[in-house]
Amino acid sequence: MKDQLYNHALFVRSTLELCKKNNPQFSDFPYGYCSKASLWLYDYLYFNGFRNMEFRMRMPFTQRGGNHVWLFLNGYNIDITSDQFNSENLTYTSVYVDNKPDPLYSEYDEIVDRHDRVGLDFIGGLIAYPEKHTDQWDYIYEQLGIEFKIDLE
């Protein structure tokens, strides 16, 4: 299962890297994208038959600070944006999939489902930047080859 999850996570991360290269709306990726990227990864995995995923959040993620969101599925932590926390002293991988104990992922402050995560991230961004936000979401789902669905009920 680890290899399968890794390959899916790598595909989504690679797609986001291409979006960054080809679309200025993604120019800051991966910085500040953990929540959106986790939503996009969740939807891609769901589209490919995976269920029972959780969004996990840690505040702060590292000693330098910064909140972070990643997915958890069947004992595996799945993170496609941890490299946003890279520094001179620390290097994180761009795609992390593992079920081994890891101090970065073993503690978390909150677990939420997709409904709550979409409510927080999509609607908040939609209110602040309506055109940019919907265009960005439409673009990434098109690149991933999945249907764009927001279900807030």
pLDDT in 10s for each residue of the chain, 153 residues = 999 999 999 999 999 999 999 988 888 888 888 888 998 999 899 999 999 999 888 776 556 556 788 899 999 999 999 888 777 787 888 999 999 877 777 776 667 666 555 544 544 454 444 455 567 778 888 899 987 655 544
CA–CA gap between residue 86 and residue 47 (Å, rounded): 31
- Give the pLDDT confidence score for residue 99 in this predicted structure: 92
Cis before 101 (ω within 30): no
Single pTM value for the model: 0.81
CA–CA gap between residue 69 and residue 16 (Å, rounded): 16
Question: Distance from CA of residue 19 to its chain's centroid?
Answer: 14
Domain spans of the chain, in order of start: 2-144
- Give the pLDDT confidence score for residue 8 in this predicted structure: 97
- Give the pLDDT confidence score for residue 131 in this predicted structure: 52
- Give the pLDDT confidence score for residue 152 in this predicted structure: 45
Terminal Cα distance for the chain, rounded: 32
